Amino acid sequence: MENFEKIEFLQNYTLFRVKFPRTLREAHTILDRGAALTCLHASQTLPCSMAEPKENILMEKIVSLCKRRGFIFQSSEIYGGINGFWDYGPLGAELKRNVKELWWNTMTRQRDDVVGLEATIIMSPQIWKASGHVDTFADLMRECPLTKKRVRADQVEPQSGTAYTFAGAAEADKIEAYLKMFHASDRAVQLMVFLQKFDREQELISKGQKTNLNLLQTEHRLFSEALSATKRFPVTILLPLGKPEESAKKKAEGFYAANGFAKPFLFDDWISKKQVKDSTDFHPESGVMLNEARPFNLMLQTYVGPIQSEENIAYLRPETAQAIFAQFKNVLETSRQKVPFGIAQVGKAFRNEVTPRNFTFRSREFEQMELEFFIKPDEVVEAISGKVAGAADVGRADLPVGQDAQQRVPTAPQPNWGWEAWHKYWVEERIKFYESIGLPRTTLVEYWQKPEELAHYARATVDILYKFPFSKRDEKGELTGEELEGVAARSDFDLSQHERFSGKPMGVFDEELRAAWGKLDEAKKAGLSKRYYEARLKYLTKTGVEQAKAEKEAKEDADGLAKGQYIPHVIEPSAGVDRLILALICNAYSEVAETDAKGKTETRVILKFHPRIAPIKVAVLPLLKNKPALVQKAQEVRDLLRPWMNVFYDDGGSIGRRYARQDEAGTPFCITIDFDTLGEKPELLNTVTVRYRNDGKQERLAIGELLNWLLSKIR
């Protein structure tokens, strides 16, 4: 570095710093490069990948199967697709419908304390203001300055390699034009003399003294143009170890070309490099250092009405929960429910995810299955029941998933349950549901969020994770899992917010509380009132209410206990339909290698869906399609079953091929109509062969018994 000096050139109020050679040898190096400038050009194609992509063979097979068999298609595929949006094909639509109906049946029709709601996607913008989505529903994003792609700041994979920093660039034609003024043999010396003179004049300028710049007009113009076309504009590019420096230069040229340089020229002296390890500062595709993180709101905005104005802004809902809170009083009054009770909803939600990823796992349009279960505050429970039952009273929480499951099952809900008991109850209920549709506990993880991870309104949150093939691994190499569902104890935050913003009361009247309160001694009343007051005061001050006003409102709320009034708290199990569908497909996927008589081995795919969720419940297959009697009998069996379940009729190809097709679609049972069905063996007249998907075993059943037998398996 001792052979170089920095030259400062002030022009049009902009200060540029450029390094130039100070020795004859270094000057000739510059000239040699200058002679080749006419051959330089910047690529206009942005590099798309920094390193070799991480392979996940299993996920590639699953994605391929979903397309091939009609489970999931890329939305708008004929137009190149649209990132983060997916369409469900014939099998996928059936699978999704089955899962949603099972959830709805389990959560509402089989319970007396849960009712349903179906709300609109677009609601008043004030709902999202009250919920905090307008102001705080954002992820911290970092942008690649080359590709302009954004990634969530907390989801950048650590990378290692060599980081090349380019301090800036120049326009190649301007440098070349200046160097051509001089005779080839004299250019290096002239350049050195000129730079020395320029340094002296710039020193005078920096001191505010009068300059005596004595240069030919042409020389001055060309030099000024060269300097003005040279800019310090740093960019850092990470290359995997072993990749040549030229790869970084090509990306740098692409970066400068994308930022206004017609033919970027890179100064060797402006390139530095260093080794980095496990850095999260570089884009995983381009390898370019990311910009600083900044908030990015995830709500998709639209306009209601013909005029696109500030007053007509609306949002596609980012979650289904807020409609439940907004309609809480209407549902309470019309359904004849009493707290504790729940409101369930299944519906579309939209989030403008910056980096949709992992197939359908993180999408911009998705469906949610949410329950808001409203419970009494612990102070109310204690006033009525005398004590509050906690998590320890309804089962053990310290047992790992998959061990001593019977001890984990809570008892039926009790009147003295507090929020902790209800929270644990719903965690267990949700895991039992997943087990009932084919996800074993061994594939699930209960992740209890740490205090610093909790939302500001949450008392506790359990994320139920599924071990996807793309999940991260821990230090032991075990899959850690990705979120399927969150079960959150949300306190009274949501109803309180909507009460504040709408001006409409969201509390309830409880005659049992009023009667019980009058029987309490004064010390007990004071203690419960104080706890309720402190909880309400904490909420109000946290949400920005002025201290004096918050104290007044909190006291009014605490005084309301004596009148039987309170705002319910909420336990929220919130599941993603699309994530669950993907988990079920991943869990069902299996391969079987079979060797034929000639020694040829073939690998077949079997989707081992639980019969309750399988898209096709049963396939009806005539042994031969050119035998009218077989075809007629097969169609009779199909028509017998069709009103009760999804039946697929297939008479094309060998029976073995048809079995294989149904295995790949996840059909749990195949019914074959053969000659014995027609009475070739009199004792087997009107019987069929039932084949099991998972193991290929077969048994004979009478057609008259078939419907009830199948219904017992698929319900």
The mean pLDDT value for 442-452 works out to 93
Counting residues of the chain whose pLDDT is more than 90, the rounded percentage is 63
* pLDDT on residue 258: 86
Query: In what helix (H) or strand (E) does residue 535 lie, and over which residues does it extend?
Result: helix 522-542
Q: What angle do CA 61, 66, 70 make, to 5 degrees?
A: 150
Contacts of 597 (CB under 8 A, 6+ apart): none
Short-list 697, 700, 565, 688, CA closest to 637:
688
Phi, psi of 48 (to 5 degrees): -105, -10
Band (pLDDT 50/70/90 cuts) for residue 180 is: confident
Going by their DSSP bridges, the two strands 159-171 and 264-265 should be labelled as: antiparallel
Tell me the two tokens of residue 78.
């004929």
Cβ(343)–Cβ(116) under 8 Å? yes
Contacts of 256 (CB under 8 A, 6+ apart): 42, 169, 233, 235, 264, 266
Band (pLDDT 50/70/90 cuts) for residue 208 is: confident
- Round the average pLDDT of the chain to a whole number and report it: 85
CA–CA gap between residue 345 and residue 324 (Å, rounded): 8
For tokens 């991260």, the residue is: 472
The number of beta carbons lying within 10 Å of the beta carbon of residue 315 is 21
Lowest mean pLDDT among 24-33, 77-86, 438-447, 660-669: 24-33
Write out pLDDT tens, residues 469-509: 999 888 888 899 999 999 999 999 999 999 999 999 999 99
Short-list 113, 110, 116, CA closest to 375:
113
pLDDT exceeds 60 at position 18: no
The mean pLDDT value for 659-686 works out to 96
State the maximum Cα–Cα separation within the chain, in Å, rounded to a whole number: 120
Tell me the two tokens of residue 216.
């030919």
Indicate the fold that domain 616-714 takes in CATH. Answer: Rossmann fold (3.40.50)
Short-list 532, 538, 541, 543, CA closest to 566:
532
Write out pLDDT tens, residues 216-252: 556 667 777 766 677 778 899 999 988 888 889 889 8
Q: State the alpha helices, DSSP H only, in 208-327.
A: 217-228, 245-258, 321-326
Lowest mean pLDDT among 149-153, 212-216, 364-368, 588-592: 212-216
* pLDDT on residue 47: 37
pLDDT exceeds 60 at position 56: yes
Cβ(195)–Cβ(166) under 8 Å? no
Cβ(215)–Cβ(223) under 8 Å? yes
CA–CA gap between residue 101 and residue 373 (Å, rounded): 19
For the chain, give every domain's residue range: 4-49+154-294, 98-137+303-507+567-580, 517-562, 616-714
CA–CA gap between residue 582 and residue 584 (Å, rounded): 5
Write out pLDDT tens, residues 519-575: 999 999 999 999 999 999 999 998 889 999 999 999 999 999 999 999 999 999 999
pLDDT exceeds 50 at position 191: no
Tell me the two tokens of residue 80.
């190149």
Judge if 98-137+303-507+567-580 and 616-714 fold alike in CATH terms: no
* pLDDT on residue 2: 33
Band (pLDDT 50/70/90 cuts) for residue 192 is: low
CATH number of 98-137+303-507+567-580: 3.30.930.10
Write out pLDDT tens, residues 360-405: 999 999 999 999 999 999 999 999 999 999 888 776 444 555 555 4
